[in-house]
Structure 1
Amino acid sequence: MNVWRTVRLYSTGVPKIRWFYSTDIPVSKPIGFNYKQTERPQKFIPFASKDSDSLETVYQSWKKQGQEPKPVPVNEDQLFDCDIAKMVMRPVYWDGPVYEIRRGLWYKDNTPLSSAISDQLEKHYSEFKKKSETKQQGPIEILSEVSLCEKDGKKWPFKEATDFEKKDKLAVFKDEREAVLIDKESKFGQLQINNIEKLPGQQVLGSSTVTRGYERVRNKEPETASDEKMEEETDFFTSLMKSWTAESSNERFQKDMEADYTNPKHHANSGEREVDHLILCIHGIGQSLSAKFSTVNFAHDCNNMRRQFKQIFVKYPKYAEMAYSEQELHDQDNQKKLTNCKVQVLPIIWRFDVDFSLNKVFEEYDKDGYPRLPTLEQVNIDSITPLRHLAADVVMDILLFYEPKFKEQILSSVVKSANSIYDKYLERHPNFNGKVSLLGHSLGSAICLDILCAQPDESSAIDPKKHLKFRVENFFGLGSPNGVFKLIERHNIWPRGSTETNDPETTSSPKVDNYYNIFYPTDPVAYRVEPLVHPLLADIKPEMISFSDENINSQLKSLAELPNNLINNRYFKRAINFAGLGDYKPQDSKCYKRGADNLDKVPEHVKKLLQSLNRTGRVDYSLPQGYFDIDLINAIGSHIQYFDDPDVIAFLLKQLLQKPKN
């Protein structure tokens, strides 16, 4: 059988390389997940052009010089690093899933081939280029990835292998950018080798067509995330209807992961964008559940919050007017910069650093060598063990926060992580001269408050092992139990350096410029803080936060004008409740039946205490919520939706960008 053929190679160089990353199957997960990769990623997403070029530059330098390549910062705000030697991408500032990256030169079905196959193809392709175009060439052998593992004395690392991964191939180049890989053991495929050039596409049984060089598929894959057009604005009710569309948890999780690791529509390559406000976020209870349920993911919550900061800033011009000077606003050459919200959000995930679990709490032993106390697992009632395990993963975080040994571990872990992230941020952004804020959710707000109360007045007294090494401008508590926690401790909450007696035995005084206690009226975990400043403030309603979208306010007003018999209809109420609208009227909200709306009758010394705790003169801020949202399901949901609520993001943005009053 004549298997020789004429090979025509017209390409004179390597086509433009495109780098890719996966987000469906991670290479590894943080400690605590007990994860081992058993499947291979199937979905690969192209890096933005700028990031891809940066990766290729470092790759070429590594190959030529042989030195260990430095990490390459990529994607949104350069929050991720690529390790070219290990071909993986990981988050910079938090522990998260690590994903495979690939250098796209040879492709199968628009997916980059692994380096094990791509390198073999390119080597033989280069050899063919050096030979005469008229010289007869035969098919060349390509070892499968499974064969290469066996050759190196290694075991195939995944549970299964596809035919493409485990069968050796014969490669036949059709032209300068296309080759056919035929199963080496396929007799029918070998019979067709001489006719390869005449067969369009993948027409040979037991074969695969591969192409050299990446070409963007129009209308399917944008060149970069920043090239995408912004979605058209839709009215509120259209958006609401879209949110009701059912979607499986796996689909949502996959979309979340892709969104977290992918450039957003704004600032796709904005690693060096100017940042005036760095927010470090501390999670609350139940983060250990993320090892069991993929939907419990605080890093994703923070990534979502960061994205919303950017989107809301672009959507409403009033924020640009707050963030930029008059000269900057009217500088025509500076318009692109005006889309930068100047806010960065980074998570602090402390739970996996703290050494307690269902099977390991107290390490105290009797003389006989047995533990003095049982584990929580051992005192469980067997009949409802799964339910108790679920509850323990959540509740135990709170219980152990008030056990001195574990509280010290928690506070130490958060301080260590916060200082490490701050140092790393300065290292990567040496020109940063902005302000730092802490944001704590649920138990995370209690952790923040205790850390801020322990901060010394003098910077010379700071111990990096116990204290934050940076000044905190704002402390935002979301869904915070601080009110009841400090009440149980019999502590007042007073500003640092107030004329009142700051006795550490009876007062908690955070070292912070502005303290915000933000909550939904129906959040069962949240409590007010202002009455702990002075009991008279219990009769003053919290400051009400307005909707971020002014259109909603007008729509709610039109609802209020509907006939009473319709408003009182129980089915209509359910619909309004489900939509999350309600008949919101801050001036007569049923959530607060008592109390005045302002501080007019409050003594001056109490007002000064509030002004010292927050420049606005208030600490408690209530988010908008409808009349009909007071039920168990909505109450539970309200505690976990702060990071997804545009009203929260808009309020935070306004407070961060608000210029101080003269």
Structure 2
Amino acid sequence: MALSEAPALIPYWFHSLESDSKHKETPNIRIEFSKNDSENLERAYQRLIKYDNGNGIEKPPETIDVMEDLLFEVNIPKRTLSPIYWKGKSYEVVRGTWFYATDMFKFLACDEELSRQIEEGYQQAQPWLMEPPKNNEKAKSTTIDFEDKRNYRLTGPYVGQCITYSGPNSAWLLSTNIASQLARAVMTKITNNENIGGTRLIRGYAEVEKWKKRNEEELQNKNNKNKSRSKSKKYSESEKENIKNITSSLEDVPLTKEPQKSNTEYSINNYKVTDNNEKDHRYEKIEHLVFVVHGIGEKFCENNSSSTIEQSVNDIRKTAKEVAELYFAKDKNQHQKGVPLPSFPTTSESAYKHIYVPKGTGVQFIPVNWRRQMNIDRYTVKRKRRLSNASVNLKKSLSNLEKKLEEEKSAEKKNNSIENEDKSEDKSNDNLKTNPSSKESLKVPSVNDSDDDDDEDDEIDELNFPRMEDILLESIPIVRKVVTDLALDVLFYMTPRHYQQMITILSNEFNRLYKLFKKHHPDFNGKVSLFGHSLGSQLCFDILCHQIPEVLNTEKVDIVNYNRLSPYGGEANYKFKQLDFPVENFFGVGSPVGLFTILSDRCIRFFDWKNPTKEGLTSNDVLVPIVKNWFNIFHPSDPVAHRIEPLVLKKSEYEKNDGETFKPNPIPYSKGGLTGTVREFQGIQKDLTLKGMRLFGNVYNVVQALIPNNDKSKSEESLTEKEFDNRDLKNININGRLDYAIQAQILDNQYLAAIPAHSSYWNDQDTIAFVLAELYRNMSFP
């Protein structure tokens, strides 16, 4: 039955999986955005259309934040998808209106130019008013009659093709050459006019979904018929085996085929595309912003396409969402603010059950890549040419001489206008011969020429200057390349010039990313934390130790100069950029901060936030990190990680009870198995012991309260506030501990575990669950 008007066309937006996808012969795989993203993109697109048509509205933004956690943005006029906070590839974006079938279950969006031409012909042909020609003689014709309204010839890059509209939401893409027309005749006859030998086109993504659902039902019915036939018919053993293999293969065929995704394109493919009416987790309030800083070997990872910082941070996000669903409270009313972490081995199920983490975590992890911006892989020295005093005087005299010549020229023109032409001509010739200030008679070396020569010398010097590859031995090149890429960053850290470059780049990146995040999230008023791995934690620590707290930075100083001891003796002056935000938490994982601190003959002290002073901030013997909470996390087998508490505590206090009191605090275990069972049993036993001691202590306090106490001085002393101690671990976080050790599995070999331990923090459930717990442990929820 014909329709009175064209069906509504609701576009859907897609993105490509390939960065160089335009003008390719083979169709490109395109993945749909989530429903929320597609609707937001379409609204922004319509607003831009209205603005371009001159409707007088304010120019809307050309970019829209999309995908999970809003880490990517779409430039609508350019139709590109790219990451916001890190450097990455750009991907093609398509506004899908018409779709072509590649098989029964996969429909891909047509290019927008092709869709535009198809829709233009659709509006002219008005196929919704006509009955589809299924059984008449016209449908069996092998030639294409362009006088028929159902046929529309394509132009531009699609010359030689045409569209035949077969219904209000369907059409066929056909070729006009003779071979295609013969193939069309055969296909039409075989399929009884169901397929006319071209590519099927569907109008609108809603129709695509209906088509896919219908095909899935047909396949399911065929599978059920095959199963019923195999049960009713008797077969031999070999035939039964063959039928079993065929039916099992049919059952394994998914009803909706997912495209094959490249493992290297992690920045796009690792995000799950959700298509439902529920509110996406990414649109919830962001409570915490965490900058994640990489350590050594980032250059090696990029060269070998392995786990770069962007991919590692993506692992952190996925792990955080997994553990948030598993171990934390699901209701805000179950949250207990300020409960410290148990000091004994336990599991995540018992340790985090009273801490509430919002759905979707409410934490945004942003990668910070400082190594990529360092121009230290190739050393070049360009000579800076300095003009001597004689050259400067010569340059000044030349400029004065040119001015004088211009004045004389103007005077000569005035005299020549009064005299006759012959005399003026003779006079001008005489002046050219006798005038000592003439440009042609003056021979002075050109300063520009000499500069050009110097530029050539600079190019020669640059080419002849040795590079890093020039000093490497030719033997075992692969091993030397690996060692160089991994160890070179540490050597750069020890060199004052490169160290200055490192801290400057990292500080600038922090400020740039913070401003960029505020631009995309103007309502953000949460807390900012740093997560540093390996050498990255050391750089974060150095920057934090040279910050001026906001309460003391009344003059709004941007850069502070500090004289610090250089690794090769003597002092070096370093400039430390001040951060645009206060740092709430600092998580150092696999951190060598303890090692570098003890090598520099310095100690670590804490900052008094209640009574802030500049004492110790400019000292060359003490390091004071300007941070509210600090956590040093490490795997027991990590060869790079070192402890920090011995650098803070008094030696007598640390050695009390042979150091038993200040062993690293164990992080709750979450991996299950035999180790999880043992840790759970140890936790229950320790918990019962503590509850018994607490009960005994309460009884003792009640008895003491009934006994009259005449010593008023002691009671008054207990009421007075304890004086701040910059070596007291209770002043660095609510747990009163600084070193936190990941609980290794009982059957692990420490030496074998040392190989992967240093790079295991990114997707380690224990580490990420601990980070989430400390971010939310001291928060209040309305």
Quote the Cα distance in structure 2 between the aligned partners of 1:43 and 1:268.
27
Q: 1:85 to 1:315 in 2, by over 3 A?
A: same
Aligned pairs (5 A) from 1:356-395 = 356-357=376-377, 360-363=378-381, 369=458, 370=461, 374-395=466-487
Alignment of 1:343 onto 2:363:
yes
- Counterpart amino acid of residue 7 in structure 2: G
Indicate the percent of aligned positions where both proteins have the same amino acid.
28
Q: Which residue of 1 aligns with 2:492?
A: 400
Q: Which residue of 2 aligns with 1:63?
A: 49
1:43 alignment partner, one of 8, 29, 45: 29
Quote the Cα distance in structure 2 between the aligned partners of 1:365 and 1:606.
53
Any idea what SS the aligned residue of 2:122 has?
helix
Instruction: Report how far residue 476 of structure 1 moved.
Output: 0.3
Any idea what SS the aligned residue of 1:108 has?
strand
Q: Give the TM-score, by structure 1 length.
A: 0.73
Quote the Cα distance in structure 1 between the aligned partners of 2:78 and 2:265.
24
Q: Which residue of 1 aligns with 2:19?
A: 26
- Structure 1 or 2, whichever has the larger Rg, is 2
1:490 alignment partner, one of 591, 595, 601: 601
Q: Which residue of 1 aligns with 2:111?
A: 114
- Counterpart amino acid of residue 78 in structure 2: K
**Is the 1:8–1:175 Cα contact (8 Å) retained in structure 2?**
no
Any idea what SS the aligned residue of 1:456 has?
coil
Instruction: Report how far residue 42 of structure 1 moved.
Output: 3.3
Q: Which residue of 1 aligns with 2:70?
A: 78
Alignment of 1:475 onto 2:570:
no
Any idea what SS the aligned residue of 2:632 has?
strand
Alignment of 1:13 onto 2:124:
no
Stretch moving more, 375-384 or 608-617: 608-617
Any idea what SS the aligned residue of 1:312 has?
helix
Q: Give the TM-score, by structure 2 length.
A: 0.62
1:141 alignment partner, one of 138, 143, 153: 153
Quote the Cα distance in structure 2 between the aligned partners of 1:627 and 1:394.
31
Q: Which residue of 2 aligns with 1:211?
A: 202
Quote the Cα distance in structure 2 between the aligned partners of 1:472 and 1:646.
24
Q: Which residue of 1 aligns with 2:553?
A: 459
Quote the Cα distance in structure 1 between the aligned partners of 2:319 and 2:100.
36
Q: 1:188 to 1:542 in 2, by over 3 A?
A: closer
1:521 alignment partner, one of 632, 636, 644: 636
Alignment of 1:531 onto 2:626:
no
Alignment of 1:543 onto 2:665:
yes
Structure 2 unaligned blocks of 5 or more: 53-58, 102-106, 132-146, 217-259, 338-355, 386-456, 560-575, 687-722
Quote the Cα distance in structure 1 between the aligned partners of 2:26 and 2:480.
35
- Counterpart amino acid of residue 513 in structure 1: K
Q: Which residue of 2 aligns with 1:259?
A: 270
Q: 1:365 to 1:322 in 2, by over 3 A?
A: farther
Instruction: Report how far residue 348 of structure 1 moved.
Output: 1.3
Stretch moving more, 369-378 or 104-113: 369-378
Residue by residue over 1:103-137, the C-alpha shift from the partner in whole angstroms, topping out at 9 and shown as x without a partner, is 11111231111113222211211221299749832
Q: Which residue of 2 aligns with 1:566?
A: none
Residue by residue over 1:425-480, the C-alpha shift from the partner in whole angstroms, topping out at 9 and shown as x without a partner, is 22332332221111101111011001101111323344178111111111000111
Q: Which residue of 2 aligns with 1:53?
A: 39
**Is the 1:77–1:269 Cα contact (8 Å) retained in structure 2?**
no
**Is the 2:286–2:363 Cα contact (8 Å) retained in structure 1?**
yes
- Counterpart amino acid of residue 650 in structure 1: A
1:301 alignment partner, one of 312, 316, 319: 312
Instruction: Report how far residue 209 of structure 1 moved.
Output: 1.7
Q: 1:201 to 1:429 in 2, by over 3 A?
A: farther
**Is the 1:418–1:468 Cα contact (8 Å) retained in structure 2?**
yes
**Is the 1:479–1:518 Cα contact (8 Å) retained in structure 2?**
yes
**Is the 2:128–2:167 Cα contact (8 Å) retained in structure 1?**
no
Instruction: Report how far residue 619 of structure 1 moved.
Output: 0.8
Q: 1:59 to 1:620 in 2, by over 3 A?
A: same
Alpha-carbon RMSD across the aligned residues, in angstroms, is: 4.1
Alignment of 1:441 onto 2:533:
yes
Quote the Cα distance in structure 1 between the aligned partners of 2:192 and 2:600.
78
Quote the Cα distance in structure 1 between the aligned partners of 2:726 and 2:330.
29
Q: 1:392 to 1:338 in 2, by over 3 A?
A: closer
1:352 alignment partner, one of 367, 372, 396: 372
Alignment of 1:289 onto 2:411:
no
Residue by residue over 1:364-409, the C-alpha shift from the partner in whole angstroms, topping out at 9 and shown as x without a partner, is 6599753596221110112333332233222222211222222222
**Is the 2:589–2:633 Cα contact (8 Å) retained in structure 1?**
yes
Residue by residue over 1:495-548, the C-alpha shift from the partner in whole angstroms, topping out at 9 and shown as x without a partner, is 135999666322221100111110001111111111222473473311111213
Q: 1:117 to 1:611 in 2, by over 3 A?
A: same
**Is the 2:282–2:360 Cα contact (8 Å) retained in structure 1?**
no
**Is the 1:289–1:296 Cα contact (8 Å) retained in structure 2?**
no
More helix by share: 2
- Asked which structure has the greater RCO (Cα within 8 Å, sep 6+), the reply is 2
